[in-house]
Amino acid sequence: MRKEDTTSNVLVYVELADGAPVKAGLEALTPAHMLTEKNGGDVIAAVLGKGISDAAGLVAAAGADRVITVDSEELAEYDLDAYADILRQIIEKEKPDVVLLGGTGDGKDLAPKLAAIFDAAAAADVTDIKVDGEDAVFVTTEYSGAIYSDVLIEEARPGIATTRSGAFKKPECESRGSVEAADLKVSDGVVKTKVIDTVKEITEAVNLEDAEIIVSGGRGMGSKENFGLVEELAKILGGEVGATRPAIEDGWITKNHQIGQSGKVVAPKLYIAAGVSGAVQHLSGITGSDYIVAINKDEDAPIFSVANVGIVGDAMKVLPVMIEEIRKIREG
């Protein structure tokens, strides 16, 4: 498609997990509104799967002007070819200028595939969006957030982008969009693979991306036993446990708790970091946090440059006091 063939609509693919919209998908509605507020058009959400009416209602209430659902057995499980083919059909009909996807595994899978289908271009890991005339300019980060780039997709349409988890807040919306069921089928011959067996990894469920409170521990915790203080504080606060790469390499906690460049990108309301130096590879995963509390015995530790509250001290002394005080408040 060329620019002149498109409308000012923005299409957002809102991924579902366990029948509910994922946070990153809902967050992508916010930059979509930033574009339609400037250029007009509707924010259209695409919701795909099987038995998705409740989820579609949640997306409509969360800020989409229109929600297009495709509810079918052949979409019960995520399949790249099938999902991309359905999104292609929606894009060809609605002709959005921009397509946004939350930066989840599926979003990062679909964005380049859609770009290839439309001979268009995709920007990855977008942290902000600007408008240049009628064009969207996608702000992306390079080198773990050390450099910001403005990416303008000049001609090919739609302009496709994945948004970074936590970079945008979910829209606060009072109006409710419409839900439209589309009777679309996956085209013959499109699906090239067949899933013959699925083996679920036996790991504890860790939902760091959606967590409102995260307590993280780094190498400064010193041992697996001491790391238990991080887990205890997270538990008493009703939060999740995060970790730096060294804490994982030392075997104090499993890899699915890793936060940072090669781990998860998080955006909690409260992030507590204990014994974490604040290396750029860790900071790149936490800058979307609303409020950061850092405990480090080195007053020059880089983590203090991003912390709202810094406690210079021994985490093994500070954490037990915090646990005790919070326990008193909880029980009091």
Ligand X SMILES: Cc1cc2nc3c(=O)[nH]c(=O)nc-3n(C[C@H](O)[C@H](O)[C@H](O)COP(=O)(O)OP(=O)(O)OC[C@H]3O[C@@H](n4cnc5c(N)ncnc54)[C@H](O)[C@@H]3O)c2cc1C
- Which residues sit at the interface with ligand X, rule CB under 6 A? 218-220, 244-247, 258-263, 275-277, 279, 281-282, 295-298, 301, 314-316
Residue 305 burial (10 A CB sphere; 0-12, 13-18, 19+): exposed
Q: Dmax over Cα atoms in the chain, in whole Å?
A: 64
Contact 89, 23 (CB under 8 A): no
Q: Which is nearer to ligand X, 185 or 255 (CB)?
A: 255
CA distance 265 to 246: 17
CB of residue 102 to ligand X, shortest distance in Å = 20
Using alpha carbons, select from 250, 249, 306 the residue that is nearest to residue 273: 306
CB of residue 321 to ligand X, shortest distance in Å = 13
CB of residue 281 to ligand X, shortest distance in Å = 4
Q: Give the contacts of 268 (CB within 8 A, at least 6 positions apart).
A: 211, 212, 213, 214, 239, 289, 290
Q: Which is nearer to ligand X, 6 or 141 (CB)?
A: 141
Task: Count how many Cα atoms sit within 13 Å of the Cα of residue 138 in the half-sphere of its side chain.
Answer: 25
CB of residue 277 to ligand X, shortest distance in Å = 3
- Torsion sign over Cα 51, 54, 60, 62: negative
CB of residue 157 to ligand X, shortest distance in Å = 34
Q: Which is nearer to ligand X, 179 or 295 (CB)?
A: 295
CB of residue 167 to ligand X, shortest distance in Å = 17
Q: Which is nearer to ligand X, 29 or 230 (CB)?
A: 230
Q: Which is nearer to ligand X, 169 or 255 (CB)?
A: 255
Q: Which is nearer to ligand X, 149 or 223 (CB)?
A: 223
Q: Where are the alpha helices (DSSP H) in the chain?
A: 23-27, 29-39, 53-61, 80-94, 105-117, 224-237, 245-249, 280-283, 315-331
CA distance 248 to 265: 16
Calculate ∠ Cα 169-173-175, nearest 5°: 155
Q: Which is nearer to ligand X, 103 or 220 (CB)?
A: 220
Q: Give the contacts of 29 (CB within 8 A, at least 6 positions apart).
A: 12, 14, 43, 45, 62, 63, 64, 170, 171
CB of residue 263 to ligand X, shortest distance in Å = 4
